[in-house]
Amino acid sequence: MRHERYGTVLLVDLSSGRTTTRFLGSDVTRRYLGGSGLGVRLLMELCDPTIHPLDPQNPLIFAPGLLTGTLVPGATKTSVVAKSPLTGIFGESSVGGSWGAEYRFTGFDALVVIGTAHEPVYLWICDNHVQIRPAGHVWGKDTFETNATILAETDPEAKVGCIGPAGEALSSIASIMFEGEMARAAGRTGMGAVMGSKRLKAVAVRGSCGVPVAEPRQLLEWAAPEYGHLTAKFGLFTQYGTSASIEVHEERGAVGIKNFSSGDFKAQAARISGPAVRPRYANKPASCIGCPVHCWVTLASGASFSRGPEYETVGSFGSMLLNDDPDSIIRANEMANRLGLDTLSLGNTIAFGIEAFERGLIDRTLTGGLDLKWGDPQTLLTLIELVGRREGIGRLLADGSRAAARTLGKDALALTVEVKGLEVPMHDPRAFWSSALNYACASRGACHLEAVAFAVESGVPIPEFGYNSRLSPYSPDGKAVLVCQMHDLMAVYNATGMCKFFLRAIGGPVWLAKAVNMATGWGLSWRELMTIGDRIFTLKRLFNVRAGVTRADDTLPERIATLDRNARHRAVPVEAFEQMRTEYYDLRGWDQQGRPIDQRLADLGLIEQETLFVD
């Protein structure tokens, strides 16, 4: 893959205004692939793990996956990497759509931004031409307006990633939004705040180079039938988008309800699911570039249209707040996308705020006279606006639930449902104990996508690992092995740019190894690919250890460990969790404080690093 020039990195120093092209050493890509694998390797080289996340020298890294921009179905993802202002540790956010492929079409494989501009700017990258342009005229505008303005100034076919008012206000739950109304989001861990701290409003890209592969004919002949085969496996998502699954997840006990304090939203879930919403809006499926699944939808009302909410957003703005009004969820989704806010952390933080108000930890003086209420669409819409602009009670909530709880003091931390500062997604770990272990030990905090082990517990087969049937979700036995394997596999997914929905269709690493080898000519076995995943995951852990993470941080929210969701889905017992965590550390080659031991680092080639740049 790009034999003569794969590994071309664009470095932009906004403080000096200099742009530089650097070339990775040949070993770097083979050892870390691309995406967040390359991202963490660059971060370890360029960033002191103890740096303040909003320091100008915290690099903001955009790294498309190794396969992004090729014909491999589902290879659409770009990882955005930096030290996180939300968690203070390794930060990573993944985005689909077309931006990553378009960036690779420019001839570059990654973008690293350091420094802080003296005034707001945006980057315009057209093939190998790079410009730093003034952005004062779009500073303060929302992401839809910014996208339209920059397309008019550059190229109507360009792809734009930008921040909204939340990123400008340095909200720790600010996202980077891509492609205007299509609203692809690098949502988690506050990457929008890092971008805002650099006074970088947007990155617009347009390319014509294509992405060379080692075996183009073989890849084409293999990929063409794969598209049809994969489409057939995702009928429900193709029809309604991921919000169609909220009733299933409610039945499984996975969707968060009332700040994870309740276990029943069955009747209401039916009112906000994809099939219920579809008749109310003109609705058509849409997809990321080159994806056969079409897992998201666009909604039209009159002359306007925007992307419909996905499952995580429907849960965050719906069941988490006891809100069963679909119109308000759709409106809230658009507001958050325009402002540039992570809908998942935002919904959780609003739920925390409502419960804190209910318990008297927040009063009407703090809220500016507002009554924060469950099941009230107006509470949701008002708080989104205030958080996105860091105004009123939004100043308290704009940096996530943990920061808000620490400001309030008293008993507020007991109401947060987060790990390492990252709010728990709409996959309640009381339904699948592998999720509890994953959230505790994942490299960016509570992230279901870092393992997706609950899918294997539900029966998704991975024959390479010996999984061919459902696992008991309420037993600690075997969960450490499962989560360890899935952490490594999902690290490969991120590094190649593969969408994780494809796990249910392609299973484990054999399919991935075939795709990587046709693209690169490397001839890797699937076990070698898994070793790469292990190396990537371990390097992320090493960054976190140097940032101060210990065993005490690899834990569960108090509510998950002490409060039963219902009679079927009980709190994760302390003894079971300790067993899983200890076994996981042993499998990883970490000491009992969670630090990778020297022998493990040596086995993975992480004690003496290869040369990063060769120019």
For residue range 342-401, what is the model confidence (pLDDT) as tens digits? 999 999 999 999 999 999 999 999 999 999 999 999 999 999 999 999 999 999 999 999
130 three-class SS: strand
Residue 541 lies in a domain: yes
Residue 226 lies in a domain: no
Average pLDDT, the chain: 94
Residue 284 has what DSSP assignment? Answer: E
User: Do 137 and 248 reside in the same domain of the chain?
Assistant: no
pLDDT score of 299 more than 80: no
Q: Which of 189, 206, 223 corresponds to the end of one domain?
A: 206
User: Do 447 and 588 reside in the same domain of the chain?
Assistant: yes
Residues 6+ away with beta carbon under 8 Å from 534 = 488, 491, 604
**Tokens at residue 81, please?**
């990497």
- What CATH number does residue 405 fall under? 1.10.569.10
User: Do 140 and 14 reside in the same domain of the chain?
Assistant: yes
Residue 346 lies in a domain: yes
User: What pLDDT score was predicted for residue 424?
Assistant: 98
Please report, rounded to a whole number, the percentage of residues in the chain having pLDDT higher than 90.
83
User: Do 386 and 437 reside in the same domain of the chain?
Assistant: no
User: Rounded distance, CA 377 to CA 391, Å?
Assistant: 19
pLDDT score of 501 more than 50: yes
Which range of residues forms the domain containing residue 352? 234-419
pLDDT score of 240 more than 80: no
Of 338, 408, 13, which is closest to residue 200 (Cα–Cα)? Answer: 13
Residue 330 lies in a domain: yes
User: Do 453 and 534 reside in the same domain of the chain?
Assistant: yes
User: Do 110 and 194 reside in the same domain of the chain?
Assistant: yes
Q: Indicate the number of domains in the chain.
A: 3
User: Do 94 and 115 reside in the same domain of the chain?
Assistant: yes
Q: What is the DSSP string of 55-123?
A: STTS-EEEEE-TTTTSSSTTB--EEEEEE-TTTSSEEEEEE-SSHHHHHHHTT-SEEEEES--SS-EEE
Alpha-carbon separation of residue 143 from 34, 60, 139, 390, 504 (angstroms): 27, 19, 10, 17, 33
Residue 282 lies in a domain: yes
Buried (b) or exposed (e) across 470-489, using 16+ Cβ within 10 A? ebebbebeebbebbbbbbbb
User: What pLDDT score was predicted for residue 304?
Assistant: 57
User: Rounded distance, CA 529 to CA 47, Å?
Assistant: 26
User: Do 398 and 304 reside in the same domain of the chain?
Assistant: yes
**Tokens at residue 88, please?**
């203070």
Strand 121-126 and strand 200-206: the pairing is parallel
User: What pLDDT score was predicted for residue 31?
Assistant: 97
**Tokens at residue 485, please?**
């394997």
Residue 216 lies in a domain: no
Q: Which of 206, 226, 253 corresponds to the end of one domain?
A: 206
Name 122's bridge partners: 133, 202
At residue 282 the predicted structure's pLDDT band, cuts being 50, 70 and 90, is: low
Instruction: Point out the least confidently predicted range of 156-170, 266-280, 448-462, 591-605.
Output: 266-280
Q: Is the separation of the CB atoms in 165 and 388 below 8 Å? A: yes
Residue 225 lies in a domain: no
What pTM value is reported for the model? 0.97
Residue 224 lies in a domain: no
Q: Which of 396, 419, 442 corresponds to the end of one domain?
A: 419
- What CATH number does residue 580 fall under? 1.10.599.10
Please report, rounded to a whole number, the percentage of residues in the chain having pLDDT higher than 70.
97
Instruction: Point out the least confidently predicted range of 22-26, 243-247, 420-424, 559-563.
Output: 243-247
User: What pLDDT score was predicted for residue 176?
Assistant: 99
pLDDT score of 302 more than 70: no
